[in-house]
Amino acid sequence: MVGLKRAIGLRTVVSTGAGMALATVCYIALVEVASYVTGNSAWIAILTSGAMAVLAGSCFAELNSMYPTAAGIKLYIEKGFNERAAIIISGVYVLGQLSIVGAEIYVLSQGIAQGFPAVSPLIWAAVFMAVLLYLNYRGIRIAGLAQDLIAYVMFASLILISIYGFAAQGFHIPGLFAIGSLDGFIQAVAIGITSFIAFEWVITISEEVTDVKMVPRGMMISLGVLAIVYSLFTVAMTSLVDRKILDWVLTPEGLPIPHILYGKQLLGGFGVYFMILMAVFASLTSMNAGIMTASRFLYAMARDWSLPRFLSRLHPVYATPWAAMLAVTAYSLLMIAYGFLTHYILSMLFIIAAAECIIYVAMALCVIRLRILEPRTPRGFKIKGGYTVPILVILIYGIVAGAVLFGPVKPDDVMEQRIALGYIIALFLLNAAYAYFVWPRMRQKYQKIAQERKPRRRRKA
């Protein structure tokens, strides 16, 4: 039987985890974070979100050291609770996370239009999706090399242009510690979570790394890289670009291009094209990592009979889950259509943040449950301090989930918050209906087919 190939190392683990998170839409999230605090103190909220992500990442690291598989998230919940709960929660998580694609393509298209207005944004979307599908179709090694090259160039470039922005202001940045109200800071931290979205998706390539111990190490390095890049770029952007302009960016009438505005303010026409290039790199790394990881997750679930079996098909030469890739692409196109038709980018960020909080709470619960149910199962990594970290994750992300879906927001954001709440509820209902009414019959069918295919023993004469 053809299986996934072990062909990638720590470098690609880091670029995949960090590259998935550092998408073009994150520029919008960073401006939104800054809008809830005073002065140029958004970096404090970002670092707080990053520290919280480290706590959640440690839960993933312990679970992945027990069961390093592409369907890890679903398997952890199944081991800790039951398979039906695993299907529902992991389904909400994956479908919620893929909302990033709609926001990403929309923001990217608006940025490119500033430099190349003659080309339709839809054409750019089609070209990007085609290129990414081809890279992933040809195999994890090629997709991984492309991920490495683009991601590391982008990280270095964003750090340099941020430092140059500080230098242009004589390294005098006012209000670096002016946080403002506690409610505003909590909401800023909640939105800041979206900036670290999907760093944990790297566990879905656990069956393709040369050493599974690289996965938890790579996750933590990814978070460090993201925290540095986000903090520097956000402070540089909010200190250089007028706040009224950044506030306009966040309105439905505004253009979601704060990074382009920063580049233009700092470097003029060259800055516009430079930031367009950075936006393209961000989208390529994010969507490449998204297709790479989400397709592996669907493949593994189908392989375990939790999804239709055709999604577990692998290419006989490249060993890539091509059927799962097509499914991910189809859903992504729906989210892209939503982004272009509504322009409600913030609603997708709320959906992503809520999905992240839900899965982090679920993973922390799984750590606790599996320490009770399977104390002797080998753990290559174990969180120190007993149950302290898992309990903190449950409490912190439970509060943040409430803040995202029910907390006070700016008047212009109320509608998008309600859309996000409705979408999360709809995902739960959809996945529950599948788990209770479709999956049992499908599982029974596959078990019957497998039983019929078993070779029968000949009776002794």
Using a pLDDT cut of 70, give the percent of the chain over it: 89
Tens digit of pLDDT for each residue in 405-419? 998 887 888 999 999
Q: Residues 303-319: pLDDT tens digits?
A: 878 888 888 888 777 67
Q: Is residue 124 part of a domain?
A: yes
Residue 461 has pLDDT above 60, yes or no: no
Query: Within a domain: residue 2?
Result: no
Q: Residue range 80-84: average pLDDT? A: 93
Q: Is residue 461 part of a domain?
A: no
239 inside domain: yes
In the predicted model, is pLDDT for residue 64 greater than 90? no
Share of the chain above pLDDT 90, in %: 27
What contacts 372, CB < 8 A, 6 or more positions away?
none
Q: How many residues does the chain have?
A: 461
- C-alpha torsion sign, points 354, 360, 362, 365: negative
Contact in structure between 279 and 55 (CB atoms under 8 Å): no
Q: How many domains does the chain have?
A: 1
Give domain status of residue 379, yes or no: yes
The whole-number average pLDDT for the span 354-370 is: 94
pLDDT above 70 for 143: no
Strands, E, within 74-182: which ranges? none
Does residue 107 carry a pLDDT above 80? Answer: no
Structural domain harbouring 325: 10-449
Place of tokens 């889950």: 321
pLDDT over 60 (residue 7): no
Q: Is residue 455 part of a domain?
A: no
Note the pLDDT of residue 1: 42
Query: Which ranges in 9-82 belong to alpha helices (H)?
Result: 10-21, 26-35, 42-66, 72-80
4 inside domain: no
pTM: 0.81
Residue 460 covered by a domain: no
pLDDT at 4 > cutoff 70: no
- List of residues 6+ apart from 109 with CB closer than 8 A: 121, 122, 124, 125, 340
Report residue 436 as tokens.
Answer: 């209770």
Q: Which residues pair with 209 in a beta bridge?
A: 8
Least confident of 82-91, 130-139, 270-279: 130-139
Domain of 148, CATH number, reads 1.20.1740.10
Q: Check whether 127 has a pLDDT greater than 70.
A: yes
One DSSP character per residue, 317-386 reads TT---HHHHHHHHHHHHHHHHHHHHH--HHHHHHHHHHHHHHHHHHHHHHHHHHHHH-TTS--SS--SST
| pLDDT reading at 186 higher than 80 | yes
Q: Are 168 and 348 in contact (CB under 8 A)?
A: no
